[in-house]
Amino acid sequence: MADRPRAREKNVTGGGSGVNLRGSASGGPVGSGGPRPGGGGNGGPGKAIGGGSIILFIIILILSKSGLLGDSGSYDDGGSGYSSAVSTVTGGSSGSTNDHMAALSGTSSGWGDYANSGKLNRDVSPEARIKYTDILGGGKDVVTLMVYMCGTDLESKYGMGSNDLKEMMNATLSDKVNIIVYTGGARKWSINGISNKVHQIYQIKNGKMNLLEADMGNSSMTDPSCLSGFIKYCAKNYPANRNMLIFWDHGGGSLSGYGYDELKPSSGSMDLGDINSALSAAGIKFDFIGFDACLMATVETDLMCAEYADYMIASEETEPGLGWFYTNWLNELSKNTSMETIEIGRMIADDFVSVCAKQVSGQKTTLSVVDLAELSQTVGDEFKNFSNSTKDLIQLEQYAKVSQARSNTREFSPSSKLDQVDLVHFAKNMGTPEGDALANTVLSAVKYNRTSSNMTNAYGVSIYFPYRTGQNKVKQANNLYSQIGLDSDYSACIREFAGVQGAGQASGGGNAFDLLGGGEQQSNFDLDSILSFVSDLGMGSRSLSDEDTAKYVYEHQLDQTLLSWKSGSSGYYIELPEDQWELVHSVDLSMYVDNGQGYLDMGLDNVYSFDDDGNLVSEADGTWLSINKQPVAYYHLDTVDFGDDYTITGRVPAELNGERVDLILLFTDEEPYGYVAGADPDYDENVTETVSRGLIELKDGDKVDFICDMYDYSGNYQGSFYLGDTWTVSGQPEISNTNVGAGYTAMYKFTDIYNNSCWSDPLP
């Protein structure tokens, strides 16, 4: 039997203030998906997704960046003589993943036998195209670094853009290195003189910012013409044989793209199609394109940019608020403007991960350097074959295999529901020759990859694959892929997957409130009913017929009538046959408190255990996670577990000094009872679908109000309310489990292969 999934270790202290409301909170529901008819998650219609409720895991905002390195020694590859602190990931596997219990944890364990973190790969496939940039050598090269800095709230609230500009000014620059910065998109700047009304262009030279253009207009910085105009300006006024471009701001990955202009919030982001248009109009080839922004290291971004650049430097995961550290690599580049691009990328990645490890220990960080000249020429056939073989599995009634592989793959910013997963890990998880071939090709093109020690199974390139998102996002992806020329076979693959998933979601799942009100478990749908659901969905162009889709879903339904409790020597337990466990992706404890007017949703917690027979044993005991003995709404987000080191992440909806946030809680091997890492701002999804970087650091004197959703007895959302008294921050609070008082109901949520929420009977 494999190791059971790690549960959060409860610190039961008893006592506490109970669950008490004290008035309505502003804003919409704070839950995560809503136990409403048709399935969903726990806690009401749900927090806004895709940027409106982005959870940035384990990242603490640091407003100043003094100091460097000091992680775990020195790394020297013998290339440039440059060395920096490197923390090598050595985590091993936690056991077989064939057992149902290993599939329930939502964890990633170990690197497997194809680790690529901290290894510089100088080999280049003979199939790679010739590089656009011809490096002259001998220090004769001239470099123009273009920094497109849309400051947004990262600058106006926290001064992150100004911090990075100061790092650039701290570098000792050669006359052969031009740093040209385009500023805008923020309500205010920490550096005096930068306009908050119009865009400007600066040159960084001799430790200063020299104003080149005082007024470049005030169009949105997510307007492609704004970007292309900046690139043309740099190419005309600062010609160089090595051009480099860095995008600085929020990022949202494959579908959302780059950027959020705080001054033009209705303008949306610059998606990959827009970036493609801007780069095409600019007509410049780049040595590298970098994203000092979240989640942009995707194969979609890589293949789009391959027409314009030789290398991509970007992060698969959300970036910490610190962002890149600019001083060191600019110093080294100035000493030798002929430095290899992969050496530059290595320095950027090493400094980024090492500085974050020192200053924001415990965060998840990733940064990779991808050879676009190689990837664009080598990945085509393998990507096509992988897409077709995966689609064939779905058509051969092996959707569950694909869904399980997707569920077990490292996902980035999962709470934002962007559906971005590591491409190598996903391809390997498929267990097919085509998957192995694709993984090897991608790994070959990733010339350098660095991650924090708590980030497993991140190999440098991610991809959009639907699981949490619906049909509309799949259509959006298909349209985008057409714009940027991504292989049409992959579009067909994700349509096939989404079609079966959509059918499963339409005919499965349940409503928690039906069970809370004394109802019985939902019986499985018959074949005719499922076929009716599928026909009504109208899921568009797919190879699998409606009849075959309905037949598959009919034969692969989680039998919710089995989610009832039995009593034994170990307490209450749920017994499922192995073929039913194979349809389950995760399990979480849910609690509702009846306050006489309705149900208060207290969230989801990964507290459970399994007996020797593999049965799920209840851990409900009348207590719930509390901060300073005040029970709070808590939602488990993610578990990383490799051996003795683990990190469990969760969120607590709250207001911080009057602004809606999520407090991010961490539970680790060193601090098993947990601590508050910081606060994640809650953006309106109608404003931006990109992801912010960095948490707000809590300071003594800050005012925190905990928030909880309430529903009437029919399951209708009644509003969000404050829980207990205001917490005035003074150091780290105590996290424990305390009594919620009388009138609570506990049940477990089982998430199935279609991402349905299926609910156990309420515990007796």
Over residues 658-672, the mean pLDDT reads 89
Half-sphere exposure of 238 (CA within 13 A, CB side): 24
Measured between alpha carbons, how far is 230 from 220 in angstroms, rounded to an integer? 13
Closest CA to 164 of 194, 191, 131, 127: 191
Give me the pLDDT at residue 692, please. 61
Give me the pLDDT at residue 94, please. 31
Give me the pLDDT at residue 103, please. 37
Residues in the chain: 764
pLDDT of residue 41 exceeding 50? no
pLDDT, tens digit, for every residue of 428-447?
Answer: 999 999 999 999 999 999 99
AA letter at 611? D
pLDDT, tens digit, for every residue of 223-252?
Answer: 999 999 999 999 999 999 999 999 999 999
Domain definitions of the chain by residue range: 21-63+560-759, 143-240+249-284, 314-465, 469-508+525-558
The rounded percent of the chain whose pLDDT value lies above 90 is 60
Over residues 628-651, the mean pLDDT reads 84
- Binned at pLDDT 50, 70 and 90, residue 643 comes out as low
Helix H or strand E segment including 654: strand 645-656
pLDDT of residue 345 exceeding 80? yes
pLDDT, tens digit, for every residue of 710-725?
Answer: 999 988 999 999 999 9
The rounded percent of the chain whose pLDDT value lies above 70 is 86
Measured between alpha carbons, how far is 467 from 497 in angstroms, rounded to an integer? 9
pLDDT of residue 743 exceeding 90? no
pLDDT, tens digit, for every residue of 372-399?
Answer: 999 999 999 999 999 999 999 999 889 9
pLDDT of residue 255 exceeding 60? yes
Over residues 696-705, the mean pLDDT reads 91
- Binned at pLDDT 50, 70 and 90, residue 691 comes out as low
In the sheet that holds 571-574, the strands lie side by side as: 566-568, 571-574, 616-617, 609-610
Over residues 311-325, the mean pLDDT reads 92
CB-based burial, 428-453: b 16+ in 10 Å, e otherwise: bbbebebbbbbbebbbbbbbbbbbbb
AA letter at 642? F
Helix, coil or strand: residue 740: coil
Give me the pLDDT at residue 642, please. 63
- Binned at pLDDT 50, 70 and 90, residue 306 comes out as very high
What pairing do the DSSP bridges indicate for beta strands 208-213 and 645-656? Answer: unpaired
Give me the pLDDT at residue 518, please. 80
Angle at 296 between CA 327 and CA 40, to 5 degrees: 135
- Binned at pLDDT 50, 70 and 90, residue 362 comes out as low
Q: Dihedral, CA atoms, 255, 256, 258, 263, nearest 10 degrees?
A: 160
Selected residue with higher pLDDT from 74 and 328: 328
pLDDT, tens digit, for every residue of 199-228?
Answer: 999 999 999 999 999 999 999 999 999 999
pLDDT of residue 36 exceeding 70? no
Over residues 127-149, the mean pLDDT reads 97
Give me the pLDDT at residue 320, please. 85
- Binned at pLDDT 50, 70 and 90, residue 542 comes out as confident
pLDDT of residue 500 exceeding 80? yes
- Provide the mean pLDDT of the chain: 84
Measured between alpha carbons, how far is 183 from 749 in angstroms, rounded to an integer? 47
- Radius of gyration, alpha carbons of the chain: 26
Which of 130-139, 588-597, 613-622 ranks highest by mean pLDDT?
A: 130-139
pLDDT of residue 648 exceeding 90? no
- Binned at pLDDT 50, 70 and 90, residue 366 comes out as very high
- Binned at pLDDT 50, 70 and 90, residue 59 comes out as very low
For residue 38, give both structure tokens: 């048709």
pLDDT of residue 450 exceeding 70? yes
AA letter at 520? E
pLDDT, tens digit, for every residue of 324-333?
Answer: 999 999 999 9
pTM above 0.75, yes or no: yes
pLDDT of residue 406 exceeding 60? yes
Residue 517 contacts residue 523 (beta carbons within 8 Å): no
